């Protein structure tokens, strides 16, 4: 059965913008997050406190966090790869952070210059300090349905890394099809395998749309009972360490599908779609959301 309610984690300002070639500038990033805050979203991933040498698009993370108007009831998580990132995030006032690793050793080396176990060790001080500071920590597992370097990724590896992050204290584990290669049957089987070890309410799904399968994958996972979905307004982005990967599934498309299924999100779809078209304009192209296009034409 489908969940009655789904929480959307809007990752456009981070996962979207980290891989856009055109930098929309700090003021527009702030305006984007403020517009998203007004749509009814409850989780908006605002920035990444990673190395600016690795991801120059996120170099202004502190300015972005300082500039946004925080709406009560909305969480603004930020990505941190290590303790240094955690310190920068806290200094900028972050109240929730997200750590990230992968199910594929090869991908994690390219993305963070560390193997999986080494990345988990880096997270230990982050989790410890976050606990003491009362900061919530989300955990990401990348390449859950395939890796651009390694190819097939064994389900056992996805389960092992998910279980580790959960055991370390991450309140939610986001399962990422980083390169958008998965199909619904595989997505379902992957989620089932992880849910046997980590409770379903602590799981989220994160699909990129490279092969046009993202919405179908989301639906398959909803049928398994997942109630948290990551998506990016306007379908912005990709992944700097996954060549050819397109953006996340568009938030507008996910919300339209959820509302059509009678599932509550608390999100104003028209406001979200207008924000997506505005962002696409800044990026100099059409919105990547089919729903965003259709609503503009209606």
Which residues have C-beta within 8 Å of that of residue 295, sequence separation ≥ 6? Answer: 252, 269, 270, 273
CB of 88 to Mg ion, least distance (A): 21
Which residues have C-beta within 8 Å of that of residue 202, sequence separation ≥ 6? Answer: 166, 171, 172, 173
Report the candidate in 59, 134, 43, 32 with the shortest Cα–Cα distance to residue 90.
134
Interacting positions 10-69 with Mg ion (CB under 5 A): 15
| Rg of the chain (C-alpha set) | 17
76 lies in the site for ligand HMG, by CB under 6 A? no
- Angstrom distance (rounded) from CA 237 to CA 150: 22
> For 18, how many CA atoms within 13 A lie in the half-sphere containing its CB?
30
3-state helix, strand, coil in the chain (%, to 5): 45, 15, 35
- Point out the residue whose Cβ comes nearest to ligand HMG: 176
Candidates 77-85, 183-191, 265-273, 280-288 — which segment interacts with ligand HMG by CB under 6 A? 77-85
Residue from 239, 250, 267, 280 touching ligand HMG (CB under 6 A): that is 239
- Catalytic residue status for 221: no
Work out what residue 287 binds among ligand HMG, Mg ion, none; the CB cut-off runs from 5 to 8 Å by kind: none
Residue from 12, 16, 40, 85 touching ligand HMG (CB under 6 A): that is 85
Note the Cα 260 to chain centre separation in Å: 23
CB of 54 to ligand HMG, least distance (A): 4
Could you tell me how many residues of this chain bind ligand HMG (CB under 6 A)?
A: 27
Which residues have C-beta within 8 Å of that of residue 210, sequence separation ≥ 6? Answer: 179, 180, 181, 244, 245, 246
157 lies in the site for Mg ion, by CB under 5 A? no
The answer for 182, left when phi > 0, alpha when psi is -120 to 50, beta otherwise, is beta
149 lies in the site for ligand HMG, by CB under 6 A? no
Site map 90..119 versus ligand HMG, x via CB under 6 A = ----------x----------xxx------
Measured from the Cβ of residue 262, the count of other Cβ atoms closer than 10 Å reads: 8
Residue from 43, 82, 246, 289 touching ligand HMG (CB under 6 A): that is 82
Binding interface with ligand HMG (CB under 6 A)? 15, 18, 48-51, 54-55, 79, 81-82, 84-85, 88, 100, 111-113, 140, 142, 176, 178, 206, 208, 239-241
Binding interface with Mg ion (CB under 5 A)? 15
Catalytic positions are: 239
């Amino acid at each position: 059965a489908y969940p009655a309610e789904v929480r959307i984690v809007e990752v456009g300002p981070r996962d979207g913008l980290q891989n856009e070639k055109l930098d929309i500038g700090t003021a527009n990033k702030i305006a984007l997050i403020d517009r998203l805050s007004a749509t009814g979203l409850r989780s908006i991933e605002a920035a990444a406190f990673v190395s600016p040498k690795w991801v120059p698009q996120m170099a202004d993370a502190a300015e972005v966090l300082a500039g946004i108007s925080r709406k009560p009831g909305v969480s603004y998580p930020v990505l941190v790869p290590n303790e240094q990132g955690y310190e920068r995030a806290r200094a900028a006032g972050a109240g929730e952070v997200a750590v990230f690793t992968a199910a594929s050793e090869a991908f994690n080396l390219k993305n963070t210059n560390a193997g999986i176990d080494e990345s988990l060790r880096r997270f230990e001080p982050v989790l410890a300090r976050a606990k003491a500071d009362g900061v919530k920590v989300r955990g990401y597992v990348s390449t859950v349905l395939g890796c651009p370097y390694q190819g097939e990724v064994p389900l056992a590896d996805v389960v092992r890394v998910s279980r580790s992050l959960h055991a370390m204290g991450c309140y939610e584990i986001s399962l990422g099809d980083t390169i958008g290669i998965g199909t619904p049957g595989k997505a379902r089987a992957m989620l089932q395998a992880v849910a046997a070890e980590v409770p379903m309410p602590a799981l989220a799904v994160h699909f990129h749309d490279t092969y046009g399968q993202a919405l179908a994958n989301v639906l398959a996972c909803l049928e398994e009972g997942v109630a948290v979905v990551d998506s990016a307004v306007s379908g912005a982005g990709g992944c700097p360490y996954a060549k050819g990967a397109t953006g996340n599934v568009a938030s507008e498309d996910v919300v339209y599908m959820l509302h059509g299924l009678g599932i509550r999100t608390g999100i104003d779809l028209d406001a979200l779609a207008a924000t997506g078209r505005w962002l696409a304009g800044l990026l100099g192209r059409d919105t990547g959301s089919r729903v965003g296009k259709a609503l503009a034409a209606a």
